[in-house]
Structure 1
């Protein structure tokens, strides 16, 4: 086992440092699909989470329950429904999106959006209960209110972004169902790893796994740096 892990690590470095075209193509598509899905989930999820945290309206509890349910929604279920919508005989089949990177972005955005929404809502709800009234009493406009709330809850909102990215970068079920794992078209690191395991190519699968871990760690570390910088924590760990 240790030998297999070591061979996989060595092969991962070899594939990266020799700029293997196939691996670079897979890494690029992984970044593209995961990045777009995360951006879409943030654009939808953060405003929706803030709205649900600040506003009371009929049916709010039902909407919150749906969001919380969506946070634990199995990816294969998402893949099933997106496949149904985009399949050639489905409601959106005429768009020709099935087995394309766009279909993968749609599926992963569906997975990440409830996660970002729920955590954004929780981040805002942790703020002092009277903060909204105090801001409005100072004559702030609705846009100024929302911007102030975003600034005050920025640590929790960045955590929501990190969680959303983590949900999409590690997803494989929905990506396989709507993307098809087609070489030079829809193959990403997760689906490529599963495929190599099924073929018995454990060294290559281990190498792709290490590359995926490195990619996920690098982006998450960058987002964490932004989060901790917003908190005002210098390198020695003391709060300013």
Structure 2
């Protein structure tokens, strides 16, 4: 009980004093996750809308694949990215392994199917409402997708936030491709694992509190966006 209390007090002072290492790890976590979310959204949102609007032979298979990839094991993603970026891999010449870029690549692979699948569900509902109107206007496929993405921007923001929330708590793939290198690739989740193993519960708890605060902020944003989306439809 004493150890826990001391850890809580230590965590409080680390956060209040804006400990340098704590701030550095938090900023790197946000930089990596925000970058991955932006890239994954740029890929996943149009992809989800395209699958919702277009009709093609393998459409059901693509939808099933997107849904299946939502549960893609992060450790497997980390292993695949590691093999691709290692010196003996096809992309090893770029020297990206154990860098924030490698971590971003892994997170993009993990959250793109999540964003695309949620976007597909949202755009499919809008497409049912806009179908006759857009066809009567002879809108091209690109115009249809652009219109649906714009009108469903609040619901699609929910998809992006869901991807961010999934990425910010990721540890398996990140520690494999990033290496948890101090002042280089150490983020909140990998730092928590490290500090817990070292027995520095104060620092581990401080990192954990920050991670929980970020997760709660994302959940609150999702709640606000969802309420705004529902109210806008009435």
Q: What TM-score, normalized to structure 1?
A: 0.88
| Aligned residues of 1:46 and 1:116 also touching (Cα < 8 A) | yes
Q: Distance in 2 between matches of 1:192 and 1:42?
A: 27
Q: Distance in 1 between matches of 2:192 and 2:141?
A: 47
Aligned-residue RMSD, C-alpha? 2.3
Q: What 5-or-longer segments of structure 1 have no aligned partner?
A: 234-238
1:7 CA displacement: 4.5
Matches within 5 A, 1:21-170: 21-127=20-126, 129=128, 131-140=130-139, 142-170=141-169
The verdict on how the C-alpha distance between 1:218 and 1:11 changes in structure 2, with shifts beyond 3 A counting, is: farther
**Residue number in structure 1 paired with 2:179:** 180
**Residue number in structure 2 paired with 1:236:** none
Q: Distance in 2 between matches of 1:39 and 1:81?
A: 22
Which structure features the higher share of helix residues? 2
Q: Distance in 2 between matches of 1:202 and 1:20?
A: 15
Q: What 5-or-longer segments of structure 2 have no aligned partner?
A: none
**Residue number in structure 2 paired with 1:194:** 193
Structure 1 stretches of 4+ moved >6 Å: none
Q: Distance in 1 between matches of 2:167 and 2:112?
A: 10
What is the DSSP-based 3-state SS (H/G/I as helix, E as strand, rest coil) of the residue aligned with 2:126?
coil
Q: Distance in 1 between matches of 2:185 and 2:228?
A: 36
| Aligned residues of 1:155 and 1:231 also touching (Cα < 8 A) | no
What is the DSSP-based 3-state SS (H/G/I as helix, E as strand, rest coil) of the residue aligned with 1:19?
coil
**Residue number in structure 1 paired with 2:208:** 209
Matched, 1:218 2:190: no
What is the DSSP-based 3-state SS (H/G/I as helix, E as strand, rest coil) of the residue aligned with 1:129?
helix
Q: Distance in 1 between matches of 2:89 and 2:82?
A: 8
1:138 CA displacement: 3.3
